[in-house]
Amino acid sequence: MDQDQNAPLREDVRLLGEELGSVLRGQAGEALFDTVETIRQVAVESRGQGEMPVGKLRELLDPLDDETLLEVARAFSQFLNLANIAELRHRERLRRQHERFPGDPDTDRGLRQVLEELKKSNVAPEQVRQVLADLSVELVLTAHPTEVTRRTLIRKYDQMADLLTGLDRPDCTPEEAERLRRLLREQMLSAWCTDEIRRERPTPVDEAKWGFATIEQSLWQAIPQGMREIEDELALAGIEPLPADWVPIRFASWMGGDRDGNPNVTAKVTRRVLNLARWMAADLYLRDVENLLADLSMHRASEELLAHTGPSHEPYRLLLRAVRDRLRNTRELMEARVNGAAEPKGEVYTSSDELYEPLSLIDRSLREVGLAAIAGGQLKDTLRRLNGFGITLLKLDIRQESTRHATAIDAVTRFLDLGSYAEWGEKVKQKFLLEELESRRPLINGAFYQSEFCTDEVREVLDTCKVIAEQGSEGLGAYVISMARTSSDVLAVMLLQKIAGVREPMRVVPLFETLDDLNNAFDTMHALLEIPFYRERVKAGQEVMIGYSDSAKDAGFLGAAWAQFRAQEALTRIFKEHGIPLTLFHGRGGSISRGGSPTRMALMSQPPGSVAGRIRVTEQGEMIRFKYGRPSVAAYNLEQYIAATLEATLLPPAEPRPEWRAEMDRLTQASVGAYREVVRDDPALVSYLRTVTPETELSRLALGSRPARRKPGGGVETLRAIPWVFAWTQMRLMLPAWLGTGAALETGLENAPDTLRTMSEQWPFFQTVVDMLEMVLAKSDTRVALWYEERLTDDPELQRLGVELRSRLDRTVAALSELTGRESLLDNNPVMRWSIRVRDPYTDPLHLLQAELMARLRTREEDPVLESALMVTIAGIAAGMRNTG
């Protein structure tokens, strides 16, 4: 990106920094401002000289009392959040100008470029249109706790971004600019005077409401806005128009449905979340219909519509009033259910088709009487929203761990004196499950629920299935089985739904997430497809979820990536042989070690044929805000998914060469061995994690409703993938994203350097591995990591491990440099490099503060001021690193 393009971003950063300085002076006094500014200048100067200013910063920080440390932490944390606002705003600016960052992996190929590439490749427009017509992209919003910023502050930051947009207008007068800067200063002052830290852990319902807010404030506008832009691009490319209400994007959620290891998500919670979603959907559609009532005052109408309304001077309003009344009834019903009140009477909407019918009738009438331009306005937007969100707003997935289902079935078999299901072999389990699935008689009656076998744990599983039965299929998505390992794991969930009387069963989706599970995914699904009953049940399509987080924690980044690739290849092949459409559900996170990467890069690195016009992806934590928090940014990211899915379907990458496969097998063998040598075999690793990183302190931060560990105590295996990644990121060692990969690259460069370089140049899968590794290594910093170690431990064993880890990191950087031929990381990505460099002088003091605060807190029982300061450093570093979990 040239200097002219970068200048507005630098100007916004400067402006926001100036305004923050004014707020600091006014609220905290000149003394604190001078302290913060001195620390900042030392960090900037030292970083400019390529040094980590440990000594100088320590001299500045050591004399500060606890209250001052808190205010200093808040100042640097605020600036990092402001830098994120400026960067997000700059991306909006460049998109509006139809400019791109050359060589920036964060910027994907747009739909226009994909359509041009398809034309060059002689793909017929008719074929493009057909693929688009059948395209299915489902984005699953999850409540994984990596979004550390409070919603209150997010709103203020959004308002600041809007004010920057106003200042950026070419016709902005000096008077308007001064007014906007005053408003900006007011928002900044308001943010400064707001507590950055959540003091109470959110409930699953709170998390769901946060997801609903993202839809209300951004995605509700982004869907019609994005679809209009896509429609324009297709017309420009000469593609025949698709149906006016065409929307290939759908939304689902895990918020309030993901009960894997989260005792706070119960059947009662799931029911409440589903009703709240219906309430929100009715409220949003009601706003749309009110606007349509104001606009559709014309009298010309088709005979079809008049047959419904009778003679009228305002037939559209007559019909819309009935729609409005029914939406009000629906909203009131859902409100009563949420509050446990008596349910009001009145006709309500129970399906999307019921709402779609009158709206599409109005659409047909307007077009028939020559008012197509009006039909193409707000009405078209509403119809598209209805296709994207339905009347349930989101489809809620249910996720539960496989052993919970096995325990429930075991309770049933013991109640019926059939023996212990848990002790049966796999073939016996399958036989029993299939017989019961095909049987017409009920398996249990009310007596079971009163028996000793129906424990609270078993009752909760069955109650969840009862919620599925009472809610119907429209508001529900997939039933995901975590830690799925056998065919019986899938059949058990099917039987549990039958026991609960589910008429339209949720599709059952096995999640393969450890290295062994991924390697055995083919055998598990092959065994299921050998069963005629099962094959018949899934003939319309099967969904399989690929886990990125736990597989990487189990085997390291490279080993997990190759296992994921091979599992998808095998699954694609077997479902193609059976003629059953396969949708792969990618359980990605924001960080590299949890599958995070730019959209096009992620999809084009998948095995050829595995996308096939259908994709399902989780959007987690802070990535929801970064990608979908503002309508224009959300519209852009939705376009990216459509463009990338289209490209991966019609222009898939070539099959990897046999020598590349063989080399990947060798590389991953070296990588997994080196990773597990540290994570599994080094007895100091767990102690190092809990002593030198803020892993223990993270539990103090009220991030999400789910516990950080699957069970109390234990080692790394009990720690969830998110805090595992989060802790290493906070102290800049980034271990989960690179450990083992350096050893693999060294092996490859020693034994087959030409093959390795060819892979990095010609194979999208390996290109993605290299590019993502380079980005995460650019964010790592051994000097920062060393300061944590020096301040927090004098244990020789931990120091020995620290030396070893930093040495491995340095060797990984050296091996990557040898492979790419670039002397410095991100030489090919100036935007990302600038983004990291501009943040370093602000994250450096926070890192040093964090280590100091951890040391002080570990010698005191309780100290609210220090605890608050520590939480602020965690939030600030998270803002600076952008993809913490």
Q: Which positions are catalytic? A: 144, 553
- Yes or no: say if 882 and 626 are a contact pair by the CB < 8 Å rule: yes
Length of the chain: 885
* Dihedral sign (CA 860, 865, 871, 875): negative
Q: Calculate the CA 187 to chain-centre distance.
A: 28
- Give me the residue label for tokens 């302290």: 35
Pairing type for strands 582-587 and 542-547 reads parallel
What is the rounded radius of gyration, in angstroms, for the C-alpha atoms of the chain?
28
Q: What Cα–Cα distance (Å) separates residue 384 from each residue in 146, 239, 643, 873? A: 31, 19, 18, 43
- Yes or no: say if 817 and 845 are a contact pair by the CB < 8 Å rule: no
* Dihedral sign (CA 674, 677, 678, 680): positive
The amino acid that residue 318 corresponds to is L
- Yes or no: say if 738 and 812 are a contact pair by the CB < 8 Å rule: yes
Q: Which of 585, 591, 644, 571 is nearest to 617 (CA)?
A: 585
- Give me the residue label for tokens 């200042």: 167
Rounded Cα–Cα distance for residues 151 and 493 (Å):
36
Q: What Cα–Cα distance (Å) separates residue 89 from each residue in 21, 164, 601, 680, 776? A: 21, 7, 23, 43, 23
Measured CA angle at 16 (ends 11, 19), to 5 deg: 125
- Give me the residue label for tokens 């040094």: 51
Q: Which of 281, 214, 85, 156 is nearest to 620 (CA)?
A: 214
Rounded Cα–Cα distance for residues 795 and 852 (Å):
17
Q: DSSP label at 580? A: -
Rounded Cα–Cα distance for residues 41 and 48 (Å):
10
Rounded Cα–Cα distance for residues 296 and 324 (Å):
14
Rounded Cα–Cα distance for residues 455 and 579 (Å):
42
